[in-house]
Every structure is written in C-alpha cells, then in structure tokens.
C-alpha cells in the first residue's frame, strides 16, 4: 500500500445497476476490490474528496448506504482476512 490516505469504502446498495456503477467508479479511481462491496486504496486528500463527491452523486435518491473509513497504516496491516479470496468480473459476477 503506497503513501497517502489509506481509505476503505464499503457499500450496501440494493439496485444491481447502481451497485455496478459504484464498483466501476471506484475501480476507475484506482481503488482495489477486496470484497464484492468493499474497495481499498491509497488516496490523497483531494482524491478522497473527489471519490466522496462522485459516490454521493451516484447514489443520490437510491436505496444505498456508502461508508468511507480513513485507515491508519497500522489498521490496514493488522487487518485479519479469513476464508477464501472471492473475485468478480467487470459485471460484478463472481468468478467461480
């Protein structure tokens, strides 16, 4: 994880098309998918604000909840990952 503000974005979005727009948006901003509805990456303060504004627009008026957590490097390095890695294609479909 490079320098910058390590940022975790998690979302809960009921509509498939909105959820897909959000995952594409986050990937386009250079974040890495860590779960179906969770992305992480290192962002400058300006980039983080840009992500926040973009997400707000994408989910406006939708049944959607997005949470953005700034993480310290220690929080990131001390995270625990259990289970298997699940990967998704560019349509948000699980790659078997």
Phi, psi of 28 (to 5 degrees): -65, -25
Taking the least distance from each CB to a copy of itself, the nearer of 2 and 94 is 94
* Closest by CA position to 70, among listed 9, 10, 7: 7
How many Cα atoms within 13 Å fall on the side-chain side of residue 75? 9
Shortest distance, position 66 Cβ to a copy of itself, whole Å: 4
Residues numbered 7 to 26 that lie near a copy of itself (CB under 8 A) are: 8, 10-12, 14
The residue ranges that bind a copy of itself (CB under 8 A) are: 8, 10-12, 14, 34-38, 52, 55-56, 59, 62-72, 74-76, 78-86, 94
């Amino acid at each position: 994880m490079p320098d910058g503000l390590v940022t975790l974005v998690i979302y809960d979005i009921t509509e498939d098309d909105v959820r897909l727009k959000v995952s594409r948006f986050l990937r386009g901003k250079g974040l890495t998918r860590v779960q179906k509805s969770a992305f992480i990456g290192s962002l400058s303060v300006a980039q983080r604000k840009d992500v926040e504004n973009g997400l707000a627009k994408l989910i406006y008026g939708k049944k959607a909840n997005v949470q953005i957590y700034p993480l310290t490097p220690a929080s990131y390095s001390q995270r625990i990952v259990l289970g298997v890695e699940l990967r998704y294609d560019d349509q948000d479909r699980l790659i078997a």
